[in-house]
Amino acid sequence: MAFINTLYNLWPNGDQKIRGLRDGIAASAPAVFKKYKIDTPLLVAHVMAQISHECGAGHDIVENLNYTAQRAHEVWPSRFPTMASAEPYAHNPRALANKVYNGTKPDGSDRMGNRPGTDDGWNFRGRGGSQTTGRDGYERVAKQTGLDVVNNPDILIDPKFFLECSVSDFINCGCLPYAKADDVVNVTKRLNGGTIGLDQRKEWLVRWKKALGEGPIDFTVPSEAQTTPTVPTAPTPSKPASTVPPPKPSAPSVTNPSPGSLGEFIASILSAIFGKKK
Percentage of the chain with pLDDT > 90?
78
pLDDT tens digits, residue range 62-101? 999 999 999 999 999 999 999 999 999 999 999 999 999 9
Strand partners, 127: 62, 132
Cα angle vertex 165, ends 174, 10, to 5°?
Answer: 95
Nearest to 108 by CA among 96, 118, 116: 116
pLDDT tens by residue, 50-61: 999 999 999 999
d(CA 102, CA 132): 15
pLDDT band at 248 (very low <50, low <70, confident <90, very high): low
Under a CB-based contact definition with an 8 Å cutoff, are residues 191 and 175 in contact?
A: yes
Sign of the CA dihedral running 162, 167, 172, 173: positive
pLDDT band at 276 (very low <50, low <70, confident <90, very high): very low
Residue 249's pLDDT is 52
Q: Where are the domains of the chain?
A: 3-59+160-224
Where are the strands (E) in the chain, listed by range?
A: none
**Dihedral angle at the C-alpha atoms of 13, 14, 18, 19, nearest 10 degrees?**
-70
pLDDT tens digits, residue range 201-245? 999 999 999 999 999 999 999 875 333 333 333 444 444 444 445
Question: Rounded mean pLDDT of the chain?
Answer: 87
Report whether pLDDT(262) > 70. Answer: no
DSSP 157: G
The rounded distance, in Å, linking the Cα atoms of 92 and 89 is: 5
Instruction: Report the CATH number of the 3-59+160-224 domain.
Output: 1.10.530
